Structure 1
Amino acid sequence: MSAPADATASRVPAGPMARFFRRLGEGRDNSLGLLAILIVLVVVLSFVSPYFLTATNLLNIGRGIAIVGIVAVGETIVIIAGGFDLSVGSVMAASGMIAGFLVTHGAPLPAAFAAALAVGALVGFINGAIISYARINPLIATLATLAIIRGLGYVISGGRELVISDEAFLTFGVGQVFGVPYIVILLVATFAVFAWLMPRTLFGRYAYAIGSSAKAAQRAGVPVSRWRIVYYVTCGLLSALAGLVFVARTGNAQPSAALGIELDVITAVILGGTSLTGGRGRLWGTFIGLLLLGVVNNGLILVGVPAFWQQVVKGTILLVAVLYDELRRNRVEEA
């Protein structure tokens, strides 16, 4: 009886909703599940707080996730390529300090921005070179550069912050066009550009190939070491860009900037479905994970949850995301 029943069931065409739940159950489309959770959360919070769905609050969420999101683009690419970068917060602080120092000493704004981006690219190059040629574990290598860059920032600045008064610099962080903040536009543009590049160019295809199997990619003729450096330089550049946004938003450059931002960045990336083992992930998944984090943070504030508990919630979300990634990886290996 069961065989005919199964055969009959298999002939029944699966509708969009059936395919949706089947893909979720098989762990093949994390972004769909996240999107469903995000929609439910938005609906719940709209009933909990009448302020939640106002334009002002939604733009606040956008501003709140912009800096983390720009860094998360670079981190996603590095992790897809089988790497990891813990130095992103230190690069943000160092780049912001460089730009702030130059601007406060009369340098043209474009020169200050270029110098800040150069710092990010240099740190990314160092990370990539150490990992590729010295064969040091990415976690250890970038943890070391995290400490070195952060420490140099304190040494050079003496632990003091720089107050920025340059109007053009500050406008970069707080300006708007048609009511939409510049930094939100920058966030969406950054995701859109790299989401387009990843599946369509060698930049993206090599990242997936290297992350899936660096040895196989090497045998296929991919210059693995050079491309790894490219991905770390990209992450460094985007971290430096986020550092400029941070300084422009806050109006000051400080060596302690972006402490702990790595937690939010990595949570958004892993939550979005990028595998810690490399070779799998999508930037739009990271974007949805970022939105989910932003909505959760905003919702906790609106309902009056203390800041300490917000950290507990974010840590729990990261743990659940990592456990889910491990479960999904085991399913793929068993299949």
Structure 2
Amino acid sequence: MIGASVFLGQQEEHEQESYLDVIAELGGMTIFTSLHIPEDNASIYIKALQTLGSQVQARNMELYVDMSTHSMASLGLQWEESRTLLDWGVSGIRMDYGIESAVIANTSQYMPVALNASIITPEWMEDLFALGLVKDHAEVWHNYYPRPETGLDAEWFDKQNRWFKDNGLKTVAFIPGDGRLRGPLYKGLPTLEDHRSTSPLASYLSLVKDHPVDGILIGDPSLSRPSVDQFKYYQNNTILIRYELLVDESQMSSLLHLDHWNRFDPARDVIRSEAARPFAQKLVEPIAARNQIARTKGAITVDNELYGRYQGELQLIKTPLKANEAVNVVGQVVKEDLPLLEFIGAGQRFSLKRL
């Protein structure tokens, strides 16, 4: 379900291939690129597009290209010749502003087209269907928004997507990356403004669980290594949470690094590891009381020997709580991963990784 953006001419061919391999490992099928190109660089972009198309085809992926009438002309093609792009490894075209409805409908006869979600009206959609738009070859893609404060409102986004689905059209949206960001603003490329400062996996899960769409693409040109690891863990239905250790105690290491899962009767204020207490019962030494401070959101706590039979219970704190002499605060989830806590529901597996 995850896909990625590749911006032509911004990296070496081997780097581009390596990134495609990473996305393929994550189960990615769709690659997006843009062809808003100046006239004098047309020949460079033709080769770059053909190279990317070949790389994508070699991995059994699909390539969608954002095009305008100007960029088509820059490639030396007319819209009637757009089939040529299929020979270059292009799977579908995201239609930019200003392309005639008849051109869009005609193109859909032989290749997929992605409509711009920002400009669709009921009247235009009716016109497209009347002109012969092939519904099975049509999707609706939202924009990404480079400028802060301009990303979409989530409520409006959901309303629009329900309308698109009612008309039988699949929807696609973007989430920000967190590796090399795209200029000139370097502020992320999300569809929803809520996701601008949120980690890629948290943004992804937000779309999957709270704002369902049919396809999710990473807007920025790369993911950080930690984010790649988090997506790989999630392929195995495990949410990887990064944390900083607050106590210097080897006894905690084995407890923290268990394979955890939230209880199937989830608590309101905390995430309770089902695995921790049974493991702690096997420890030779009792868990001494230490660092019993106030529990902020994201605190990782372990109940000490003062809690009796609860000794060894490990929790992730979702709601700030007061200090408790029977509860040790042993770690803190990093800021970037705090939004992931809301996705650890009943029975959800999670792992903890120390920074």
TM-score normalised per structure 2: 0.19
Q: Which has the higher helix share?
A: 1
Write 1 or 2 for the structure with the bigger share of strand: 2
Greater C-alpha radius of gyration: 2
Q: TM-score normalized by structure 1? A: 0.19
